[in-house]
Amino acid sequence: MAGLRGTTGMIRWSLGLLAGGLVMLLAGLSVVLAGSPQAAATTTAPPPTTHGGSAASSAMDDVAAMQPGWNLGNSLDATGSDETSWGNPRITPELLDNVRAQGFKSIRIPVTWGQHQGPAPDYAIDAAYLNRVKEVVDWALADGFYVLINIHHDSWQWIANMPSNHDGVLARYNAIWTQLASTFRDSSTRLLFESVNEPQFNGGSGDAQNAALLNELNTSFHSIVRQSGGNNANRLLVLPTLHTSADQARVDELVATFDALGDSNLIATVHYYGYWPFSVNVAGGTHFDATAQKDLTDSFDRVHNAFVAKGIPVIIGEYGLLGFDRSTSTIEQGEKLKFFEFFGYHARSKQMTTMLWDNGQHFQRTGFQWNDQELFAQIKSSWTTRSGTASSDQVFSVGSSAVTDRKLTLNLNGTSFQGLRHGTTDLAPGTDYTVQDDQLTITAAAISRLSGSREYGTNAVLSARFSQGVPWRINLITYDRPVLTNATGTTGSFAIPTQFLGDRLATMEAKYADGSNAGPHNWTSYKEFEVAFSPDYAAQVTRLKPEFFAEVNDNSRVTLTFHYWSGTTVTYYVTKSGTSVTGSTAA
């Protein structure tokens, strides 16, 4: 769920853990582990086994063979009465065939069980639903996938209540895994089980209790599956951190569980949706900059050092950008491409298998095409190599002024620059462009020639080509300063008439007259893209959302500053009075 993921990301980004608290947390967890009968019963590692690979394959080998992976999101994990209740069509063998044809070697099939479960004490899973899940799993196995199934949105629907209903939640959870272990006991060893998705707990006493509860779930899951026999005796099992977070405290908690279980066929999993301000485009996080990059490297390095370096495989069970749950345009195209290029590279360098989260917004479930082929090309390339990028994919020239040379900084990423191309025509070095060190200069003569009559918007598309990886698209854009005009409306529907004149909106600031921040997320002046505001280029308006006005003071004028990708800023003023809103360009 987008809202839950966004909340988790904000918590992970904004909260730290004091060293003393961490020591207490781990001490509490150690007591739980030492006293756990399930842990004591499962401290001996199982013998070597055959998984999806050769007879000598290890868990590390199998997880490496699972790269890359894909999530069948918002289907069997939908919380309605049917797999179509969140808008996706029924799963077909053809869909899985086509996903396999894209190069994916593993598939994570999230499953939500609660609405298909009977009452206590048996908590029986509806037979028709269980058979449907098995049907989809069998199709995926027949396609040659490694397959991972789990307990998914139950994590926040009812498992989160474990602090106040410990015995009831544990009994229900155990009943699910007892039934799944029996159903899939003899399924291919290429089928993996994941204990629970994004575990979280409500109303507990804090981190130490949450860690102990998750350890109890993971340990009980492990015991139930292993004791069910058949292929489950050595089946690869996936255990998450709390919130599937890569924070050090969360990682340390899971390490303690792994140490206690002593099972060589266990896999650790975390999720990664990027540095939160960048991932949702809030607080000025418009660029995949050094801060966003460091968040990624720090997260992956922590997980690698805790697990992979010790021979324990890791699956990044979901990855993407949180803003994608609203629209893939929440993050500017070039910035998102840089994120995915670097994500794939660093995950590969840390030997972690990645599983793209796709709830239908990426690969079409019936058309079997990528909605953004350029994005997928970048993702796919990152599985094996690096690609060159640049400081931007946009080169702006003012329409009302003479054209001048424009510069971009190349991010070579270990490649070498090969040249610029327009369509099928190579541009002339020295005449159309020059390169000195990492500075690419596109000459005024080339921009003028390629831009033609210089209509507002993108007049030409160039591709920077490198010695490996995918080309980098560069849009030559003609613009003038956007023009906003006065408006009236309501808190439920307010749109500022906007002549964008070729420019694109990056972000918006909101402040009161005294300089304090206005609107939601009032710890920052920069509001969240497509939550507080949204550009509508077709309608030539900028919409301010009800969510924005819900947290604006009545009868207090708010100064809005719109930041555009050209670097232009435009100031506008709005005042809310009850449900009425007036907007003005006047200072």
Residues that are catalytic? 198, 318
Q: Are 450 and 476 in contact (CB under 8 A)?
A: yes
Q: Which residues pair with 417 in a beta bridge?
A: 466
CA-wise closest residue to 147 among 262, 65, 234: 65
User: Can you point out the beta strands (E) in 62-136?
Assistant: 69-71, 106-109
Q: Is 159 within 8 Å of 151 (Cβ atoms)?
A: yes
Nearest to 348 by CA among 387, 384, 317: 384
CA distances from 160 to 100, 171, 230 (A): 34, 14, 31
| DSSP secondary structure letters along 17-61 | --HHHHHHHHHHHHHHHHT-HHHHHT-SPPPP---SS-TT--HHH
What stretches of 58-126 show up as alpha helix (H) in DSSP? 59-65, 93-101
Altogether, the residues listed in the chain come to a count of: 587
* Pair type for strands 494-499 and 487-490: unpaired
Q: How far, in Å, are 9, 320, 509, 584 from residue 506 at the CA level?
A: 21, 20, 11, 21
496 within 8 A of 416, measured Cβ to Cβ: no
What is the distance between the alpha carbons of residues 73 and 1, in angstroms, rounded to a whole number?
10
User: How many C-beta atoms surround the C-beta of residue 506 within 10 A?
Assistant: 22
E strand or H helix at 124, and its extent?
A: none
Report the distance separating Cα 446 and Cα 157, nearest Å: 58
Around Cβ 284, how many Cβ atoms within 10 Å?
17
